[in-house]
Structure 1
Amino acid sequence: MTRLLAAGLLGLLALGFWVGSGAPGRAQSAARFEDASQARTALALARQQALRARTRAERFDREAASSTQASQKAQAEAAALAARIQQVEAAIGVAEAQLVLVKSERRQLDIRLAERREPIVQLTGALQTLVRRPLSLSLFAPGSLRDTVYLGAVLDSTVPLVRETTADLRAELDRAAVLQRQARDAVAARRASETQLAQRRTELIAMAQRERIDARRAAGAADREDLRALALGERARDIDGLIEGLEQIGELRARLAALPGPVPRPTDPSADPAATPADVAAAPSPSPSSTAPPPRYRLPVDGRLVAAFGSRDDSSIRRDGLQLLPRSGAQVVAPGGGRIVFAGPYRGYGTIVIIEHANGWTSLVTGLSELAARVGQNVVAGSPLGMAQLRDPAVTLELRREGEPVNPLEFIA
């Protein structure tokens, strides 16, 4: 009976200890969510973003492996690396959301355990008093020996009942231990992802530096175009004037590219009687222009939509694009394939990138802190452009057709 009583007492003492103790080694949570519902929504979104980023990276890897041209291979490799960076950023979001959910469930569990703590502590104290009472004292108290025997019989039937009634409590304590391990795993996953993110960004910076060196060695045309773009940015009164000037330069460049090459000297008709002046002077005719939007068009960054196309800002001015709120320092990529015609700071917009697509389409991306693109560079949808700002990381996307703003969401693939 004494052993049974001691075992029951030890079990209750253990319950009291676990109820009163907190979770050791709790990690600090990146509390960016107001409640568990938002954390669950963010968790599902981050998992989708990670899956899409991995799919893009694998597709770009295949394109790089099958490409025979060095420039196309380099574009695909850079886009694959940018997609992997976005995949790691999404993995960090997954770990943060999981940690918030674990901490939320642990707080609810602590509240339930605290409600049951008081009666358990009182029962534990009473049993401790009974167990520590020397048996010899019972011989000098009238009826105490009889009471002790009676109490032992009662405890023989009570301890199993206590164990049965506290089974759900022990299950919750086991759940608390599981939550503690899950919190440690989430923190470890986030730290590992942050380390991997730093490595990927270092690789991307090195790749961008190599591309700049190769471009400088190739010719000085890119530098001259960059200077023209910067000069145009200084003269333009607003962003509309800048885009209009860049479009005029792009139209001129397209007309020059469509001009026929040098006409070969006419052959001697006597040497080839079948040759005619029409055969000699025939020039290739340009293909008719199309109005198709950029293929595989996408958002430049993974983030929350905070301002829609056509909405009004604080100054009641109609927005010509979308405003996204990504994580701090997130990877920003090209929304569509084309040619970089402007990359640098512009008054009132921070660091911006303007991409000239085919068929008269233009994309404007603002809110960058660091640039990984240069003027004159050809990009594909997903090529790295730079990073979002560390403070107030808002990224804006504008899509224009012949200078007129259109809603980018209508063309997202």
Structure 2
Amino acid sequence: MRAPILNLLLIASCAGTSLAQAQTQGQTIAPAPQTAAISPDAIKQREQELEAARARQKSAEEAQAKLKAEIASLGQDRTQLNQQLIDTAANVRTVETKIDEAEARLKTLNGREQQARASLDSRRADIVEVLAALQRAGRRTPPALLVRPEDALQSLRTAILLGAVVPELRGRAEKIASELGELVALRKNIAAERDQLASDRDNIRSDQTRLAALVDERQRQQASREKDLDAENSRAITLSKQVGDLQGLIAKMEQDLQSAAKAAEKAAEAAKQAEAKEAKEAKAAAANAAANAKPGPAIFKDRSRTSPAILFASAKGLLPLPVNGNKIRDFGGSDGVGGVQKGISLATKPGSQVTTPCDGWVVYAGPFRSYGQLLILNAGGGYHVLIAGMERISVNIGQFVLTGEPVATMGSTSQVASILATNASQPVLYVEFRKDGTPIDPGPWWAANEGEKVRG
């Protein structure tokens, strides 16, 4: 009679502590190394593992070859390449969000599991008494199944249904059964979440590989168009060391660098054309009320464009955030070092994908003073967008980029000095909008759902 009671105490109070640790770490407990000679079964197992590894390697090589063929088939078709880049970057960011959400759910479920275990642990006396009553009152001794919460739950439910529990213990038995049921359900949910998380991580690795190949192809094509690209990039870094502030850097780039000056010229020309177009549409709107409709995200769907789809000033409420993250500093607040925040700061996960929040021309891409890696876009109409804190930038000066196009990746820690000053260990992206050299609040430009994401 004592054996099943002790088994139940072991599972209900400690409830598989070592198993929980293994689940939490996503690992299995390996046996101690054997000093004896390797058995034929062990040799066979190792051969099977080696064969499986070879099969995985072959599969990866075939997938890589297929990807290269797909990219080669795009040729010089800029529209298709842009479409693939933006769609794949969007997939990466979507899976990043799913992984974050799954990790948050797992944290909650693990907390509830710990609470259930603690509750069962506090009810040892009830468990002992109820199980003892089961053994005394039952027609036969309960089988020794109580090695898992599932077994304890089944035994209690069966006894209650058969009326084997004396009336005064029935309520307590039902309470314990309820708690065990919750623990069993939690374990199932945790297992399902871990499986989904593993699947999402496999998916993001595949998408990241694809994205890296697409970015390499985009930059290869860009380099073939800009013969002096490397020399100009080096010159840009040299120029950046000669100026003391961001406005000076922007002016210096657009004045002294051929590609950046060309980008600025194109931005100004595009802004004039867009203004003329909007003026014409405004006149037509008087005769056609439909023309007054506010533009939506669909305005960015043309992947073949080589100038902004809309005037930056008219893009309020339409722009996506450049990275998945939580806002830790807002425009106008403290910057952590005694000054005022001129943009927003987003805490991200290591390795997060960074995409462009708007259409624009790259006028600077590289390190700059306390900003770490800095990317500056000329969005036209006197507007510039500054993005800083990335580990690696994947676009070049003079390049025109589309809204949502991948341009950089985050590192593992903060690269921005003002964030480092507050001992922030996670990577942080800094985003700043400027109009005619003056920082402005980017809040009105973010799409409504993006504004919800970054509420601090």
TM-score (norm 2): 0.62
Q: Which residue of 1 aligns with 2:313?
A: 293
Equivalent of residue 362 in structure 2, options 340, 349, 358: 340
Structure 1 contact 352–364 (Cα < 8 Å) conserved = yes
User: Is 2:81 the counterpart of 1:74?
Assistant: yes
Distance in 1, matches of 2:224 and 2:168, equals 85
Secondary structure of residue in 2 paired with 1:389:
coil
Which stretch has the larger CA shift, 222-231 or 232-241?
222-231
Secondary structure of residue in 2 paired with 1:78:
helix
Tell me the CA shift for residue 406 of structure 1: 0.5
**Aligned counterparts, 1:209-288, within 5 A:** 209-223=216-230, 225-248=232-255
From the superposition, tell whether residues 130 and 179 of structure 1 become closer, same or farther in structure 2 (CA, over 3 Å): closer
Equivalent of residue 405 in structure 1, options 426, 433, 439: 439
Secondary structure of residue in 2 paired with 1:324:
strand
User: Is 2:6 the counterpart of 1:28?
Assistant: no
From the superposition, tell whether residues 331 and 161 of structure 1 become closer, same or farther in structure 2 (CA, over 3 Å): same
Tell me the CA shift for residue 322 of structure 1: 0.4
Secondary structure of residue in 2 paired with 1:343:
strand
Q: Which residue of 1 aligns with 2:195?
A: 188
Distance in 2, matches of 1:81 and 1:411, equals 24
Distance in 1, matches of 2:314 and 2:219, equals 26
From the superposition, tell whether residues 179 and 205 of structure 1 become closer, same or farther in structure 2 (CA, over 3 Å): same
Percent identity of paired positions between Structure 1 and Structure 2: 25
Distance in 1, matches of 2:267 and 2:127, equals 86
From the superposition, tell whether residues 163 and 223 of structure 1 become closer, same or farther in structure 2 (CA, over 3 Å): same
From the superposition, tell whether residues 243 and 161 of structure 1 become closer, same or farther in structure 2 (CA, over 3 Å): same
Which stretch has the larger CA shift, 158-167 or 71-80?
158-167
Structure 2 contact 134–165 (Cα < 8 Å) conserved = no
Structure 2 contact 264–363 (Cα < 8 Å) conserved = no
Q: Which residue of 1 aligns with 2:338?
A: 316
Q: Which residue of 1 aligns with 2:389?
A: 367
From the superposition, tell whether residues 257 and 241 of structure 1 become closer, same or farther in structure 2 (CA, over 3 Å): closer
Equivalent of residue 387 in structure 1, options 398, 409, 428: 409
Residue deviations 1:138-193 (CA, integer Å, cap 9, x gap): xxxxxxxxxxxxxxxxxx98635534431131122011111111112222222222
Secondary structure of residue in 2 paired with 1:318:
coil
Q: Which AA in structure 1 matches 2:208?
A: R
User: Is 2:12 the counterpart of 1:19?
Assistant: yes
Distance in 2, matches of 1:321 and 1:396, equals 7
Distance in 2, matches of 1:226 and 1:293, equals 30
Secondary structure of residue in 1 paired with 2:103:
helix
Q: Which residue of 2 aligns with 1:120?
A: 127
Q: Which has the larger Rg?
A: 1
User: Is 2:430 the counterpart of 1:396?
Assistant: yes
Distance in 1, matches of 2:378 and 2:358, equals 9
Tell me the CA shift for residue 328 of structure 1: 1.6
Q: Which AA in structure 1 matches 2:178?
A: A
Distance in 2, matches of 1:164 and 1:126, equals 13
Structure 1 contact 340–353 (Cα < 8 Å) conserved = yes
From the superposition, tell whether residues 100 and 367 of structure 1 become closer, same or farther in structure 2 (CA, over 3 Å): same
Report how many aligned residue pairs link the two structures: 321
Tell me the CA shift for residue 229 of structure 1: 2.7
Structure 2 contact 393–408 (Cα < 8 Å) conserved = yes
Distance in 2, matches of 1:256 and 1:174, equals 66
Distance in 1, matches of 2:405 and 2:165, equals 71
Distance in 2, matches of 1:379 and 1:209, equals 15
Q: Which residue of 2 aligns with 1:165?
A: 172
From the superposition, tell whether residues 116 and 254 of structure 1 become closer, same or farther in structure 2 (CA, over 3 Å): closer
Q: Which residue of 2 aligns with 1:201?
A: 208
Structure 1 contact 340–378 (Cα < 8 Å) conserved = yes
Which stretch has the larger CA shift, 233-242 or 10-19?
10-19
Residue deviations 1:26-59 (CA, integer Å, cap 9, x gap): 43279xxxxxxxxxxxxxxxxxxxxxxxxxxxxx
Distance in 1, matches of 2:361 and 2:314, equals 12
Distance in 2, matches of 1:209 and 1:292, equals 29
Aligned Cα root-mean-square deviation (Å): 3.5
TM-score (norm 1): 0.68
From the superposition, tell whether residues 350 and 190 of structure 1 become closer, same or farther in structure 2 (CA, over 3 Å): same
Tell me the CA shift for residue 365 of structure 1: 0.5
Residue deviations 1:100-147 (CA, integer Å, cap 9, x gap): 11111112212221222123325656887999xxxxxxxxxxxxxxxx
Equivalent of residue 178 in structure 1, options 175, 178, 185: 185
Structure 2 contact 89–353 (Cα < 8 Å) conserved = yes
